[in-house]
Structure 1
Amino acid sequence: MLDVRETSRPRRADLDTVSRACGTLLASLPRADQRRKGELYVRGLLTSPGRKTMRNLATSTDDPAAAQSLHHFISCSTWDWTVVRASLARHLDRLLSPRAWVVRSMLVPKTGRHSVGVERRYVPALGETVNSQQSYGLWLASETAAAPVNWQLSIGKGWLQDNRTRTRATVPEDEDGTTGDGAAVQAVLKAAAWGIEPRPVVMDARYSALPPLVEAFTAAGLPFLLRVSGGCTLLAAGAGQGENRVSAASAEHLLGLARAQRRPVEWIDPASPGARRTSLVAPLQVYWPSTPDARPSGPYAGSATGSTRTAALGLPLTLLGKWQTYERGVRQVWLTNMTGAGYGPLLRLSRLTRRVEADFSYISLDVGMQDFEGRSYPGWHRHVTLASVAHALRMLGTRRR
């Protein structure tokens, strides 16, 4: 397979493939002119150079009024983006055989305050406050490819309380505000209702509030693998002075006690096809306090002990530490409810975040995922939906070549 960095814009021979794919993925659009404009929009995302403004997208057509027509199709039309996303998810689930659902945050800095959901928010990864729009994408990911299939926009309740701003952005009445971790959860749960096979939810949650994620995914019966900070507090048996003692301690401290159990695991770097790497890994059983002991079903679930002690401790989890061979301190900390999975498969699942980062950088950005210039809620959702279709077509074309 070619590296995603070798992707190129569709050749003329590929345009028939784009037409056939759009015919399938956009079949839910009720009118023929909507389906035609949807295909034109996707073609523009795939072929127009530079920033994907309406003017640039219109250059892929011979219609001088195409820019205004496409703007109306995205921002003012009535077609349902959710049905298109569900169709895309089912299509890619068959073709990719994904190993995980990877949740990724997308932050788009903005200069003004009028675009939907834009507000000043502190970004821990940057260590500063940024005027920005934030959303969460759900990606179907395998070792060789990844593509987004669902999006949830983060909108604060304060932003929604300004009736004039809300009306200008055409925010629907049933949108009552979903921020941060809630948006990540909704991106997953909505996709889970589309009939695609559930996969482990993999997410970098170091800067997230863990309780909403753990409790929501547990209640939904979904396996999860979350990257957490070393300071995350968990319960562990034998972490104190005696083997029978149960105490709360930071994840980093607990993994320090498990250093002697480290074992080397080889993995292929999804971001550099063919590159083999080795990491030291150690698992440790821990417990999530104050959460009902509800385990996911399926091949990743651990065996139930039925002990009163386990039930009293809370939800049994596996804490996974990853070290580089030349470092003393733990490099990454992961938390999972897949207690029956080996640490080798868990490590390889965690590496799929690198596949998503690579494909976002080399495909999503190139097809204009962050380029929507409008201000409306429906317009944003329709744009990222068709950009996801364009991403999938670019990715699938690269795999074929």
Structure 2
Amino acid sequence: MRAIRPAEEAEALPRDPAAEARALRASVLGSLRRRDQRHKGELYVDGLLTAPGRKTMRNLAASTDERAAEQSLHHFISCSTWDWSPLRARLARGLDRLLAPRAWVVRPLVIPKTGRHSVGVGRRFVPQLGQVVNSQHGYGLWLASGAAAVPVNWRLSLSGDWLDDAEMRQRAAIPDSMDEGAARAPAVDMVLESAGWGASAVPVVADAREEALPALVEAFSGAGLSFLLRIGGGTGLLAPNLSAGRSRVAAGSATLLAELARSQRRPVEWFDPAGPGLPRTSMVALLPVRLPGGPGGSAPLTLAGVWSPDSREVSELWLTNMTGAGRGTLLGLGRLIGRADADFRRTGLAVGALDFEGRSYHGWHRHATLVSLAHAERMLASGAHRGGAALTAVPMVTGGRRARGRGRFGPVAVAGRAEVPVPGRGVASPGRAAG
């Protein structure tokens, strides 16, 4: 993720909220080669923003003044040939300038379904809900600041049934390039694709408690990406044996090792970017660790344990390759998952993130792409990305004192981006039980 922009996007977008939203739409839809496609894109995004209720093709068409709009929009989404990747890349670069993001947040996506014909649908256990649900499952990649978050890339998980059954593949128009290898790690594939879009290098933040942790660490480290991953308490790690001297190594669960570092806890005052503007305090301890053998086993990492002030048990565990980052920086980055979750509930659902009724693989991705654009427009037009969080979302290690010479808080865009170290240089979903 490099801060390099194509020449046609080098000029800064206007600062008026409504003008920003219009300019971003024109830039993104400008990736479509044909005028009729750009027109249909305008109609579709207008429908996502204005049509009442579920964003079915019928409701979207009813929000236009054009005859045969339902058939036309259906063809544009499900049967056309336009590639969604250039639109997503241009959206990400535009939002990178406007949003001043602090992280790329990977968020799981669960779409309940009543039938069995939608692409990727199946019965699976959903940890966030604690039950088996007939659903589609995927991931969204969100650009997140303390003030707002917007999805810019998507992946849909496909099980072996969908990949191995020739009739199901043909019915859903699943491309030949989508084989078992490509479908094995959709979240990683999504992040690595996005890393090549030229946006700023910010950390990848994800809840990895249900993911294959070594594979994530290996992939992100190999790509030179900073990351902060929430892990489960049973994750096995290696750490200096604090009770016997740092020359010896202790092996144990993340929970056990965090308890060994209890004496290293310090108070961190922070603000929930998605909640009321009242300060909260957590106790945070940092411990150098490594993964035991296997991929990424030799990479130096940091385990961050988080305790509530009134609890003796660790409530959250995070693993990062930003070994020089402070407690406040790491806690603040982790809280951006809540920012993405809140904006999904408040804006993503309203613009139809779960409402696609078609059956094709291409149709789902095109719908998701235009949902991202509609989400970005609504956020920009509201001015939410310039909200009060600019002075309230920077967590700081206070130790009971105010920082001297700079007031109590620092601006999000400055502290959040400048404090992020480069790995190796010395520096979805809520509702789950912590740790």
How far the C-alpha of 1:240 sits from its partner, in A, is 6.7
2:302 equivalent to 1:318: yes
Whether contact under 8 Å (2:214, 2:295) holds in the other structure is no
- Supply the distance in 2 between the matched residues of 1:71 and 1:277 (Cα, whole angstroms): 48
Write the letter of the residue equivalent to 1:374.
G
- Supply the distance in 2 between the matched residues of 1:254 and 1:132 (Cα, whole angstroms): 37
Whether contact under 8 Å (1:181, 1:209) holds in the other structure is no
Q: Which runs of 5+ in 2 are unaligned?
A: 1-15, 387-435
2:372 equivalent to 1:372: no
Residue 231 of structure 2 corresponds to which residue in structure 1?
228
2:7 equivalent to 1:23: no
TM-score in terms of structure 2 length: 0.81
Residue pairs, 1:291-370, within 5 angstroms: 314-370=298-354
How far the C-alpha of 1:289 sits from its partner, in A, is 2.5
2:100 equivalent to 1:97: yes
Deviations 1:225-251 (Å, cap 9, x if unpaired)? 000011111011215756533231000
How far the C-alpha of 1:341 sits from its partner, in A, is 0.7
In structure 2, the CA distance between the partners of 1:181 and 1:255, relative to structure 1 (3 Å rule), is: farther
Residue 289 of structure 1 corresponds to which residue in structure 2?
292
Whether contact under 8 Å (1:181, 1:212) holds in the other structure is no
2:58 equivalent to 1:55: yes
Whether contact under 8 Å (2:266, 2:283) holds in the other structure is yes
Residue 275 of structure 1 corresponds to which residue in structure 2?
278
TM-score in terms of structure 1 length: 0.88
- Supply the distance in 2 between the matched residues of 1:132 and 1:61 (Cα, whole angstroms): 30
How far the C-alpha of 1:19 sits from its partner, in A, is 4.8
Residue 193 of structure 1 corresponds to which residue in structure 2?
196
Whether contact under 8 Å (1:206, 1:228) holds in the other structure is yes
Q: Which moved more, 1:170-179 or 1:379-388?
A: 170-179
Residue pairs, 1:112-151, within 5 angstroms: 112-151=115-154
Whether contact under 8 Å (2:240, 2:246) holds in the other structure is yes
- Supply the distance in 1 between the matched residues of 2:114 and 2:68 (Cα, whole angstroms): 28
What count of residue pairs does the alignment treat as equivalent? Answer: 370
Whether contact under 8 Å (2:100, 2:145) holds in the other structure is yes
- Supply the distance in 1 between the matched residues of 2:295 and 2:243 (Cα, whole angstroms): 24
In structure 2, the CA distance between the partners of 1:334 and 1:179, relative to structure 1 (3 Å rule), is: farther
Identify the match of residue 77 of structure 1 among 76, 80, 85.
Answer: 80
Deviations 1:91-140 (Å, cap 9, x if unpaired)? 00111110100000001111222111111222223332221111111111
Write the letter of the residue equivalent to 2:232.
S
Classify the secondary structure of the residue corresponding to 1:174: coil
- Supply the distance in 2 between the matched residues of 1:399 and 1:186 (Cα, whole angstroms): 32
In structure 2, the CA distance between the partners of 1:179 and 1:320, relative to structure 1 (3 Å rule), is: farther
Q: Which runs of 5+ in 1 are unaligned?
A: 1-12, 294-312
Write the letter of the residue equivalent to 2:54.
R
Whether contact under 8 Å (1:75, 1:376) holds in the other structure is yes
- Backbone CA RMSD of aligned residues: 2.0
Residue 159 of structure 1 corresponds to which residue in structure 2?
162
Whether contact under 8 Å (2:220, 2:226) holds in the other structure is yes
- Supply the distance in 2 between the matched residues of 1:334 and 1:268 (Cα, whole angstroms): 18
Whether contact under 8 Å (2:283, 2:306) holds in the other structure is yes
- Supply the distance in 2 between the matched residues of 1:233 and 1:180 (Cα, whole angstroms): 26
- Supply the distance in 1 between the matched residues of 2:368 and 2:380 (Cα, whole angstroms): 18
Residue 426 of structure 2 corresponds to which residue in structure 1?
none
In structure 2, the CA distance between the partners of 1:79 and 1:228, relative to structure 1 (3 Å rule), is: same
- Supply the distance in 2 between the matched residues of 1:131 and 1:266 (Cα, whole angstroms): 41
Whether contact under 8 Å (1:157, 1:176) holds in the other structure is no
